[in-house]
Chains A and B, each alone.
Chain A
């Protein structure tokens, strides 16, 4: 009888343990799935909310495009990456979940003068938060952002949209215009900008091997944009505003990296060599005495 009781109790004990274990496993899986849906690229405008007087609000690219990557969450610790304006910074911070809200604080390493701290929460499909600079002498002190999740996949067929004008707002030139009004000569200044024709929405340097004939009639700006579209397809984060102005507004463009090494296809590499050659030629010869 004693034996039976012992056996029985053992059975209960084992059984209980097994059940407990299963419960734990299920719980782990659940939290893993929960976090997985947060991982990825969160993309949107990185809007300045506080800046010193040196920041020029009339600047065409006043706000940058931000890609906030959430990579991994482990025991309330979170790992990520911020990619913005040619800067790719690793992020480490904390994570908590409360009432279906996922709260994060992320710190950039702090060894760059532009580093700062991200604080944000994710509710449903939207990531919302702020960034503050570590250095209070920084030109931009704080920013806000509302981001949505976007998957990045290299697609060589992507093109710049053809429903906008491509004007280089960083190429302002003042031309003096003289006009005679009421017998008085007046001189005023007119701004002119470089513009690109719609060829840049048609010529794909990622899928077709370009020939000299394809490029001969292109201006320097067009050559530049066609070359940079290759990089944009690979998610390259541009440092120069004069490049970002064309790609930041494009829906498919997600800055994911500041390193292009090993990413370009053979066609792209060949096209870039030719594009650079033509760009150099345009620079040296377009408006000079010669051909």
Chain B
């Protein structure tokens, strides 16, 4: 069967590599909008209430923007069997970078700005839960490798990265939903807040379940 064939695996790898690079580039471009530091640029244009009334908001928002882009780098290296085999050092370096950035910068800042998310209570709950799960999976994944439990390390880091990847899927869903239905902006936001990460997590759980079998 074609799906089982070696060719299919190679092609799908290439497909993922290319599309991930494209989306990484788009995310990088979004990040670069926030350089130089500015209190009313891009997304912050509709966040002036928080910028002016919640003292730490702006700083924490910027921590999130500047740090999160580094977590996506893991997507290039960490799930490659070849790098893991031939270049363990690189795997470890990028892995540590990912771990520290998520645990000390990206996830906690996401947790904080999640409380001020657009779209009301439902999106706030979504982003806060997302940040807690992201933090937890990353921490557990790290502890697993410390205990030399490599397969569990792999599964938890897959879960963790599926959530990191929501940065991309959330924005992708937005484009699709707006194209199809043109809803009011915050109605879109409430939907993508959940659609951004929940299907990712379900998909990766299913994938892990398949491997385990």
Q: Which of A197, A277, A280, A282 touches B185 (beta carbons < 8 Å)?
A: A282
Chain A, residues 196-230, CB within 8 Å of chain B (1/0): the string is 01000000000000011101111100000000000
Chain A, residues 278-291, CB within 8 Å of chain B (1/0): the string is 10111011111111
Query: Are A216 and B118 in contact, CB atoms less than 8 angstroms apart?
Result: yes
CB contact list, A162-212 vs B, under 8 A: 197, 211-212
CB contact list, B33-65 vs A, under 8 A: 42-43, 45-49
Number of interface residues, chain A, beta carbon within 8 A:
22
Query: Are A289 and B49 in contact, CB atoms less than 8 angstroms apart?
Result: no
Chain B residues closer than 8 Å to A288, beta-carbon distance: 175
Query: Are B179 and A212 in contact, CB atoms less than 8 angstroms apart?
Result: no
Query: Are B46 and A287 in contact, CB atoms less than 8 angstroms apart?
Result: no
Chain A residues closer than 8 Å to B178, beta-carbon distance: 286-287
Q: Is B184 an interface residue (CB 8 A)?
A: yes
**Smallest Cβ-Cβ distance to A277: which chain B residue:** B45
User: What is the interface of chain B mostly: helix, strand, loop, or mixed?
Assistant: helix
Chain B, residues 160-197, CB within 8 Å of chain A (1/0): the string is 00000000000110110011001011110100000000
Q: How far is the CA of A155 from the CA of B8 in the complex (A)?
A: 70
User: What is the interface of chain A mostly: helix, strand, loop, or mixed?
Assistant: loop
**Smallest Cβ-Cβ distance to B49: which chain A residue:** A212
Q: Which of A212, A219, A290 touches B46 (beta carbons < 8 Å)?
A: A212
Query: Are B47 and A212 in contact, CB atoms less than 8 angstroms apart?
Result: yes
Q: Is B26 an interface residue (CB 8 A)?
A: yes
Query: Are A291 and B186 in contact, CB atoms less than 8 angstroms apart?
Result: no
Q: How far is the CA of A197 from the CA of B86 in the complex (A)?
A: 59
Chain A residues closer than 8 Å to B46, beta-carbon distance: 212, 215-216, 277-278, 281
Chain B residues closer than 8 Å to A291, beta-carbon distance: 43, 118, 171, 174, 189
Q: How far is the CA of A281 from the CA of B118 in the complex (A)?
A: 14
Residue from A219, A284, A291 having most chain B Cβ neighbours under 10 A: A291
Q: Which of A211, A277, A286, A289 touches B171 (beta carbons < 8 Å)?
A: A289
Query: Are A217 and B184 in contact, CB atoms less than 8 angstroms apart?
Result: yes
Q: Which of A213, A219, A277 touches B184 (beta carbons < 8 Å)?
A: A219
Q: How far is the CA of A213 from the CA of B175 in the complex (A)?
A: 23
Q: How far is the CA of A211 from the CA of B49 in the complex (A)?
A: 8
**Smallest Cβ-Cβ distance to A280: which chain B residue:** B45
Q: How far is the CA of A195 from the CA of B164 in the complex (A)?
A: 36
Chain B residues closer than 8 Å to A213, beta-carbon distance: 49
Query: Are B186 and A216 in contact, CB atoms less than 8 angstroms apart?
Result: yes
Query: Are B185 and A216 in contact, CB atoms less than 8 angstroms apart?
Result: yes
Query: Are A218 and B49 in contact, CB atoms less than 8 angstroms apart?
Result: no
CB contact list, A237-291 vs B, under 8 A: 277-278, 280-282, 284-291
Chain B, residues 1-42, CB within 8 Å of chain A (1/0): the string is 000000000000000000000000010001000000000001
Query: Are A212 and B48 in contact, CB atoms less than 8 angstroms apart?
Result: yes
Chain B residues closer than 8 Å to A280, beta-carbon distance: 45
Chain B residues closer than 8 Å to A286, beta-carbon distance: 178, 185
Query: Are B171 and A197 in contact, CB atoms less than 8 angstroms apart?
Result: no
Q: How far is the CB of B184 from chain A (nearest CB, A)?
A: 5
Q: How far is the CA of A217 from the CA of B49 in the complex (A)?
A: 15
Query: Are B175 and A287 in contact, CB atoms less than 8 angstroms apart?
Result: yes
Query: Are B118 and A290 in contact, CB atoms less than 8 angstroms apart?
Result: no
Could you list 19 A-B pairs, sorted by A, with CB under 8 Å? A216-B46, A216-B185, A217-B186, A219-B185, A278-B46, A280-B45, A281-B46, A282-B185, A284-B42, A285-B42, A285-B43, A286-B178, A287-B175, A289-B26, A289-B171, A289-B172, A290-B43, A290-B174, A291-B189
Interface residues of B (CB under 8 A from A): 26, 30, 42-43, 45-49, 118, 171-172, 174-175, 178-179, 182, 184-187, 189
Interface residues of A (CB under 8 A from B): 197, 211-213, 215-219, 277-278, 280-282, 284-291
Besides A212-B49, A277-B45, 6 other A-B contacts (C-beta < 8 A): A277-B46, A284-B42, A285-B43, A289-B175, A290-B43, A291-B174
